[in-house]
Structure 1
Amino acid sequence: MDITLHKSTIQQQSSIEITGSKSESNRLLLLQALFPEIELSNVSNSDDSNLMIKALASKEKVVDIHHAGTAMRFLTAYFSVQEGRETVLTGSKRMKERPIKILVDALQELGAEINYVENEGFPPINIIGKKLTKNKVSLKANVSSQYISALLLIASKLENGIELTLEGDITSVPYINMTLSLLNEIGVKTSFENNTITVYPSKANIKPLVVESDWSSASYYFSIVALSAVGTEITLSSYKENSLQGDSCLVEIYKHFGVSSNFKENSITLKKESSKINSLTLDLKHAPDIAQTIAVTCFALGVSCDLTGLHTLKIKETDRLVALKTEIEKLGGRVDITDKSLHLKTSNSIKELVSIATYNDHRMAMAFAPIALKKPIIIEDAMVVSKSYPTFWEDLKSIGFKISQ
């Protein structure tokens, strides 16, 4: 379903309640499967988390996780330690093009029994669960943090834990720290010194856990406030000032766009303080998921940006660097990309009613939506947002966006 976002002006003050973080939810759901006594609340209502819940509860041999990349990585590790169970883990056509070899190699190094069903290095994979007793493994440090987190999440259930050595410059450190913090929160002992992460075999010390709302989802409201009139405010819940999520760096980044952030109890209020904005240079290696939001914000405000540290964007739901270049240029922008960076030139105008392709990528749909505060825009396959934020369009309507099919 395609939708049209008409030129809109949002309310001066509004509030939105955002579902639990997909990143935190999927980690905690896997831990809950390993330690069933864990109680969770505010779990994400995203497609990815629902697929994770369904997969963890499945008794079928074939488990299909569709487009859910996090689920593919985490479940590869999970099913490798389900002793005596055989599982074929598969997904969508795009998922079968997304590499899994780095994680499979690491699990095999620990003793896991995993074979490729179709193409070497890619899903689907056949996993025969067994007891893993080896505990030393190494990975290149610049790989997706989800490979690293997948190993860390199962580690406390292994007889000898895991000692994971990361070789080189580590990317996405906040996501690794999030995994370790959640393990610590349930009583699992860990250490992260230099480039070595150790997770010790542990019993969980269980207490009820509340999933923080998703900072990646909050990014679209930072963008909306940045594109709005001075004085505009949006309050979002539930957010913590000392968040585990890497994308909470939005608070600092959007100061550049004149947006202040004020925490009170479990909410954050974003306010447009100033309209004076300069060009932006950012290394996003620790928070690549907000690159699309930032690039579109800069384009809509008519300022240039240089974003680096984006090498993981090529293996997401789509090649996000190519997709961003294509869609921003349709709107009249000028973009250069490399395999790990994006360079946006200053643009003075935005074309009207351009139809934005979303490439089965929820973030493409949501990142481009704020453009409607400047010019009307069409979003193709708009319900792709259900992957991470099913109520996104309803929430935009509630703050003043005019949307029609």
Structure 2
Amino acid sequence: MNLRISSPQPVKNAALNISGSKSETNRLLLLQALFPELAIKNTSNSDDSEAMMRALTIQNGLADIHHAGTAMRFLAAYFAIQENREIILTGSQRMQERPIEILVEALQQLGADISYVKNAGFPPIKIKGKKLVQNQVTLNANVSSQYISALLLIAPKLENGLELTLEGKITSVPYINMTLALLDEIGVNTSFIGNVIKVSSKSEIKNPTNVTVESDWSSASYFYSIVALSPIGTQIKLSSYKENSLQGDSHLSEIYETMGVKTVFENNQIIITKNDRETPVIAFDLNKTPDIAQTIAATCFGLGISCRLTGLHTLKIKETDRLEALKTELEKLGATIAVTNDSLILEKSTFINPEIKIATYNDHRMAMAFAPLAIKKPILIEDAGVVSKSYPDFWSDLKTLGFLIEETN
């Protein structure tokens, strides 16, 4: 499905309900599989979370999680401790190109029985579940936080808990803290001191526990972009969010202040409003929040301001090489942009090419990051259905705001 996106009228002031965080949901789904006493509310309706739910019910055989990277990492750890179950964990062609060796080796350090079906270091993997009694493992700290969280999530069910030592500078600390906070919330004892994380063993949750998933901050980022690109006074209300969020991407409320967007927390909502404060040049280290890099870059381009974004090394192994994809698609629109293995530099540019087809590379964030630019000039999004990976209601929510969305060839 290819879509033509335009905004013939100013964006309507509106209130939207955003689905639960995919990051929180997938962590809690795994914990619920380990502790059935756990009840979860406001779960994400994303493809990734649906894939996670389906895979958790499989007893033996093939578990195909398609494009769901989080599910691949978390399920590799989960199935490793499921005694007497044998699973082949696989995914899409792109998933089979995304490395998993670091996590597999860590699980093997704990005693897991995991082997590669095709190419060493990459999915598909064959997992023979067993009881794991080792409790110490060491990882390089600059790896994907999903590897670290996968180990932490199964730690309560390890006979002796887990002591995880991280070597070097830690990447995406907020996501590690999110995992630990959720473990704490269900009564698991944890500590994170220096570069050592400890999680205690826990056989069961004594009291039924209800956890409500906060709405997804990554999804909110696209509305921050819309407000930033709109006239002064434009306002959108988003539910359900909290000021003391576990999600690292909540930092975007501070980032978008530099692009003229004010955030107010009120009654489980965030109210975002365009004011007249814009900084001509912005620079951010997104080491802790790499998932909002595409949105920020597209917003800066639309505003005609320059930006320097660093700490982006994990973007090379996402649904696509997001840095190269950003460079290619922004250049189509008239941007002057350069990327390295971990950074992006966008010069002050003018949006000179409307009606351009933006390729999405099987990457939901490419589609959603570029869509707000339709406020400036009409834009075409190829394979627009890819948004269902994290935000199936995205296009209908844009229609609520007054965007004109038409199917095209």
Partner of 2:320: 318
Query: Hey, what does 1:373 align to over in structure 2?
Result: 375
Is the 1:261–1:268 Cα contact (8 Å) retained in structure 2? yes
- Alignment CA distance shift 1:165-1:330 (3 Å): same
Amino acid at match of 2:69: G
Q: Confirm or deny: 8 A CA contact 1:186 1:206 kept in the other structure.
A: no
1:80-133: CA deviation from partner (whole Å, max 9, x where unpaired): 000011100000000000000000000000000000000000000000000000
Q: What's the CA shift for 1:9?
A: 3.5
Report whether the alignment pairs 1:271 with 2:273.
yes
Aligned positions of 1:111-190 closer than 5 A? 111-190=111-190
Q: Equivalents in 2 of 1:192, 1:275: separation in Å?
A: 38
Conservation of the 8 A alpha-carbon contact between 1:12 and 1:231 = no
Q: Which amino acid aligns with 2:30?
A: L
Deviations 1:21-79 (A, max 9, x none): 00000000000000011111100000000000000012341100000000000000000
Q: Could you tell me how far 1:10 is from its partner in structure 2?
A: 3.9
| Secondary structure class of the residue paired with 1:263 | strand
- By how many angstroms is 1:207 displaced? 1.6
Task: Look up the equivalent residue of 1:308 and give its one-letter code.
Answer: T
What is the match of residue 242 of structure 1? 244
In structure 2, what is the equivalent of residue 232 of structure 1? Answer: 234
What SS does the aligned partner of 2:77 have?
Answer: helix
Taking every aligned residue pair, what percent have the same amino acid on both sides?
Answer: 65
Superposition deviation, residue 6 in structure 1: 1.9
Task: Tell me, in whole angstroms, the C-alpha distance in 1 between the residues paired with 2:40 and 2:151.
Answer: 22
Matched residue SS, 2:157 = coil
Question: Measured at CA, do residues 119 and 301 of structure 1 come closer, stay the same or move farther in structure 2, by a change above 3 Å?
Answer: same
**Which residue number in structure 2 is paired with residue 103 of structure 1?**
103
Which residue is equivalent to 1:304?
306
Please list, as runs of the form range in 1=range in 2, the aligned pairs for 1:29-108 lying within 5 A after superposition. 29-108=29-108
Query: Which residue of 2 is the match for residue 359 of structure 1?
Result: 361
Q: What TM-score does the superposition give when structure 1 sets the normalisation length?
A: 0.99
Deviation at 1:276, TM superposition (A): 3.4
Query: Which stretch of the first structure deviates more once superposed, 211-220 or 11-20?
Result: 11-20
Deviation for aligned residue 1:265: 1.5
Higher mean alpha-carbon deviation, 151-160 vs 55-64, is at 55-64
Relative distance call for 1:108 and 1:334 in structure 2 (3 A) is same
**Partners in 2 of 1:206 and 1:27 — Cα distance?**
18
CA offsets, 1:281-306, max 9 Å, x none? 10000000000000000000001100
CA contact (8 A) 2:295 2:369 kept: yes
Displacement of 1:275? 5.1
State the alpha-carbon separation in 2 of the partners of residues 337 and 179 from structure 1: 31
* SS of structure 1 residue aligned to 2:38: coil
Deviation at 1:12, TM superposition (A): 4.5
- Conservation of the 8 A alpha-carbon contact between 2:257 and 2:277: no
> 1:69 & 1:324 partners in 2: Cα distance?
20
Matched, 1:382 2:384: yes
Distance 1:36 1:267 in 2: 30
Secondary structure in structure 2 of the residue aligned to 1:241: coil
Q: Which runs of 5+ in 1 are unaligned?
A: none
Conserved? CA contact 1:230–1:275, under 8 Å: no
Q: What is residue 2 of structure 2 aligned with on the other side?
A: 2
Residues 340-363 of structure 1 show CA distances to partners (whole Å, capped at 9, x for unaligned) of 000001113331101000000000
Instruction: Name the counterpart of 1:213.
Output: 215
Partner of residue 343 from structure 1, selected from 333, 342, 345: 345
Aligned positions, number: 405
Q: Deviations over 1:237-272 (max 9, x none)?
A: 000100000000011101001111111121100000
Deviation at 1:206, TM superposition (A): 3.6
Paired residues of 1:137 and 1:164 also in contact (CA < 8 A): yes
DSSP 3-state at the match of 1:270: strand
The answer to which of 100-109 and 58-67 deviates more is 58-67
CA distance in 1, matches of 2:344, 2:65: 30
C-alpha distance in 2 between matches for 1:7 and 1:331: 17
Aligned equivalents of 2:229, 2:153: Cα separation in 1: 39
- The residue identity in structure 1 corresponding to 2:18 is I
2:14 aligned partner: 14
Q: Any idea what SS the aligned residue of 2:209 has?
A: coil
Measured in 2, the distance between the counterparts of 1:30 and 1:254 equals 33
Residues 1:393 and 2:391 are matched in the alignment: no
